[in-house]
Chain A
């Protein structure tokens, strides 16, 4: 994957994409604002949501042990995966053990993060995505571009073409003469997928929440494909990040108010399913929970970045982000696009690759993402913190080991500039000479920077150098009066 600036340079030229995204993000952000305004205690719910997650994260080991016992007691089996490969291996083995070669899947960020479908395909197992948008993405041999509406970059005409061309390769073909009306497209998906649901023996899901106290898992959805995958198969495998645990069943009262209104701007999403282990003759007979680390403990180790693990994947931050709106989700090169992706991806994967090192810069730091976040993640704060890590390096946890990472490549100019500035500020006499020189030569200053600075000055006005520096002005107007000559004056006398 290219770094964000290169990817965005290409995607921002796609006018269709920009038009689709602009329509989608503006529609949904207006609806969300209205849904949130219905609750006059929103800020208190938000504070409670953040606090519950903080409590959980600060005692994550205890809550995971409690969760494991509760799930096991309820008839489920718990597996632990330190990274993506291990999670994929566990799921593959579990599916193999059933003797099945096909699985139905509920939309899940965690399985997308670990590339589960690809791993299953390598093992000869076909995973069918059953969320309508995920189906569009899968049939189109495409990647999701939004957390909540993964096919937001596709318009109805493109979807019709994808269905007409590809459905027959995966199962029931699209009906003859399929139109591009959303109702007809949804009907085609219903028919295509129903065949899969009715025959499915294995379902794979993620979860929105896991309750430590009771071992209850929660999936929030709209279409009913989730319910199909969670109840019709004989075996259910859920892959869930360790940060998704909440302490008590009562805590759901906070998140089931925060999540639907923040994500789809509804009072409540059409379907929410909860299950606690297995239930006799109702739903799957076998339940496996795969608890996923894959960089989450590294994120946990960073006291500034830790708050990113509060995220409940509502996608409100995407819909208000001016950068996401123009660049689109693919430019972020990760399952997690938008502002949350810009802070989560470099923490989960580290900042070593060029792409991951570029993500903390994929923001204008306008702060809109923080304003809408239902669990009050200070995204701008983490962005700045990660930028520092990229430029300066420093202590970080990598795969569970505390280490000191080197500055990322490609930031040499920035580092050199910062070093020069530090040096100049430590030498006031030189600074003053430099400022005077700059003032006197201002007529000859270029409008654009040469060399590596050119990209920066291509899109910005260079600030004009004033005729006289502040220090000189101060000296001239107040310096002689003897009323507190400031740092400069003191330095001179010593």
Chain B
């Protein structure tokens, strides 16, 4: 008997107390927990997202005014002294339009090695959805976000959230928007560890700085 058959036979023997006719649906699961915790306006949800992101030491910025987004991204890269920036293939062109040409654009391609990426200063991406109650942004590797590794190896990640259609209140609301077939990366604050005497230290392996831009309707455009 191969191990698959062996383990399956053991499971069936172990479950002799379960009636043969019982279906999984007959084991009750009451989903009486909340879909959303609290009752908020859309603006208040965005504020809560900003608060929770900041609480986990992400740097939060707002780009409400029309066309303020490119200037903000350019400034954040300059403040950081970035000499190169990883660019997902589907990033809206306007987002980097104010970034000077002296900052090298590194396109996200399959040929890019981890060593190449290690030499890149920053990365700019969009996101799939953001969760206010937990202060989380979720990336799903769509064209405006690129491969998983480009938001991992560089030390500085700028993530743009479109407040009009990408912010939800809760974890249940986020999951129903996501496609499980796509690789998902949920990010809540920068990389952190508490392994040394429970002192929280930002950044061990992932980006040590996470900057989140809450982009208003006119500034973000459509990706």
Residues of A participating in the B interface, judged by any CB pair closer than 8 Å: 20, 23-24, 27-28, 38-41, 44-45, 47-48, 51-52, 54-56, 58-65, 74, 80-82, 86, 130-133, 136, 149, 151-152, 155-156, 159, 182-183, 185-186, 189-190, 193-194, 197-198, 211, 214, 216, 222-225, 227-228, 231-232, 242, 247, 249-250, 252-254, 256-257, 260, 264, 266-276, 279, 281-283, 291, 293, 297-298, 300-301, 303, 397, 400, 402
Inter-chain CA distance A156–B194, complex, in Å, is: 12
Q: How far is the CB of B74 from chain A (nearest CB, A)?
A: 27
Partner of B188, one of A214, A253, A269: A269
Q: What are 26 inter-chain pairs, A to B, with CB distance below 8 A? A: A44-B33, A58-B24, A59-B27, A61-B12, A64-B7, A74-B181, A132-B193, A152-B198, A185-B196, A186-B196, A186-B203, A222-B193, A228-B205, A232-B114, A253-B171, A257-B171, A267-B56, A267-B135, A270-B206, A273-B148, A275-B183, A276-B181, A276-B183, A291-B7, A293-B7, A397-B14
Are B193's CB and A267's CB within 8 A? Answer: no
Are A64's CB and B183's CB within 8 A? Answer: no
Q: A44-B32, A61-B8 are in contact. Are A268 and B136 (CB under 8 A)?
A: yes
Residues of B participating in the A interface, judged by any CB pair closer than 8 Å: 2-4, 6-15, 17-18, 22-24, 27-34, 37, 52, 56, 110, 114-115, 118, 131, 133-136, 141, 147-149, 152, 171-172, 175-176, 180-199, 201, 203-207
Inter-chain CA distance A271–B141, complex, in Å, is: 15
Are A223's CB and B34's CB within 8 A? Answer: no
For B37, give the chain A residue with the smallest CB separation: A39
Q: A247-B24, A267-B134, A279-B183 are in contact. Are A224 and B175 (CB under 8 A)?
A: no
Are B4's CB and A52's CB within 8 A? Answer: no
Are B7's CB and A51's CB within 8 A? Answer: no
Partner of B185, one of A182, A225, A273, A297: A273
B24: chain A residues at CB < 8 Å are 55-56, 58-59, 62-63, 247
Are B27's CB and A51's CB within 8 A? Answer: yes
Q: How far is the CB of B34 from chain A (nearest CB, A)?
A: 5
Q: How far is the CB of A286 from chain B (nearest CB, A)?
A: 15
Q: Which of B11, B136, B192 is the most central at the interface, judged by chain A CB atoms within 10 Å of its CB?
A: B11
Are B198's CB and A400's CB within 8 A? Answer: no
Q: How far is the CB of A325 from chain B (nearest CB, A)?
A: 14
Inter-chain CA distance A228–B3, complex, in Å, is: 31
Are B186's CB and A303's CB within 8 A? Answer: no
Q: A222-B192, A266-B56, A272-B186 are in contact. Are A256 and B147 (CB under 8 A)?
A: no
A223: chain B residues at CB < 8 Å are 191-193, 204-206
For A302, give the chain B residue with the smallest CB separation: B14
Q: A132-B193, A282-B141 are in contact. Are A40 and B185 (CB under 8 A)?
A: no
Inter-chain CA distance A346–B192, complex, in Å, is: 34
Is the contact region of chain A dominated by helix, strand, or loop, or is it mixed?
helix
A130: chain B residues at CB < 8 Å are 205
Q: How far is the CB of B95 from chain A (nearest CB, A)?
A: 21
Are B188's CB and A303's CB within 8 A? Answer: no
Q: Which of A61, A271, A298 is the most central at the interface, judged by chain B CB atoms within 10 Å of its CB?
A: A271
Partner of A159, one of B115, B196, B204: B196
A293: chain B residues at CB < 8 Å are 7, 10
Inter-chain CA distance A340–B8, complex, in Å, is: 25
Q: How far is the CB of B18 from chain A (nearest CB, A)?
A: 5
Inter-chain CA distance A65–B24, complex, in Å, is: 14
B134: chain A residues at CB < 8 Å are 260, 267-268
Partner of A224, one of B12, B133, B152, B186: B152
Are B14's CB and A300's CB within 8 A? Answer: yes
Q: How far is the CB of A304 from chain B (nearest CB, A)?
A: 11
For B34, give the chain A residue with the smallest CB separation: A41
Q: How far is the CB of A150 from chain B (nearest CB, A)?
A: 8
Are A197's CB and B205's CB within 8 A? Answer: yes
Extra 18 A-B pairs, beta carbons < 8 Å, given A47-B30, A182-B199, A270-B190:
A44-B30, A56-B24, A58-B24, A80-B4, A82-B6, A130-B205, A156-B197, A186-B193, A211-B180, A222-B191, A222-B194, A223-B191, A250-B176, A254-B33, A270-B56, A273-B148, A282-B149, A300-B11
A74: chain B residues at CB < 8 Å are 181
Partner of B204, one of A20, A58, A60, A186: A186
A253: chain B residues at CB < 8 Å are 171-172, 175
Are B7's CB and A242's CB within 8 A? Answer: yes
For B151, give the chain A residue with the smallest CB separation: A227
Are B14's CB and A274's CB within 8 A? Answer: no
Inter-chain CA distance A44–B31, complex, in Å, is: 8
Are B188's CB and A266's CB within 8 A? Answer: yes
Partner of A136, one of B18, B186, B195: B195
Are B185's CB and A271's CB within 8 A? Answer: yes
Q: Which of B24, B37, B204 is the most central at the interface, judged by chain A CB atoms within 10 Å of its CB?
A: B204
B148: chain A residues at CB < 8 Å are 227, 231, 273, 282-283
For B23, give the chain A residue with the smallest CB separation: A59
Are B175's CB and A249's CB within 8 A? Answer: yes
- Lowest 7 A-B CB distances belong to which pairs? A224-B206, A301-B14, A224-B205, A297-B10, A272-B186, A400-B10, A268-B134
Inter-chain CA distance A256–B178, complex, in Å, is: 14
A51: chain B residues at CB < 8 Å are 27-30
Are A40's CB and B37's CB within 8 A? Answer: yes
Are A82's CB and B201's CB within 8 A? Answer: no
A273: chain B residues at CB < 8 Å are 148, 183-186
Q: Which of A65, A194, A266, A276 is the most central at the interface, judged by chain B CB atoms within 10 Å of its CB?
A: A266
For A68, give the chain B residue with the smallest CB separation: B4
Inter-chain CA distance A51–B135, complex, in Å, is: 28
B141: chain A residues at CB < 8 Å are 279, 282
Are B13's CB and A402's CB within 8 A? Answer: yes
A264: chain B residues at CB < 8 Å are 194
Q: How far is the CB of B124 from chain A (nearest CB, A)?
A: 18
B187: chain A residues at CB < 8 Å are 270-271
Q: How far is the CB of A412 from chain B (nearest CB, A)?
A: 31
Are B30's CB and A48's CB within 8 A? Answer: yes
B182: chain A residues at CB < 8 Å are 276, 279
Q: How far is the CB of B72 from chain A (nearest CB, A)?
A: 24
Inter-chain CA distance A283–B152, complex, in Å, is: 12
Are A149's CB and B205's CB within 8 A? Answer: no
Inter-chain CA distance A227–B131, complex, in Å, is: 20
Q: How far is the CB of B100 from chain A (nearest CB, A)?
A: 29
For A78, give the chain B residue with the smallest CB separation: B4
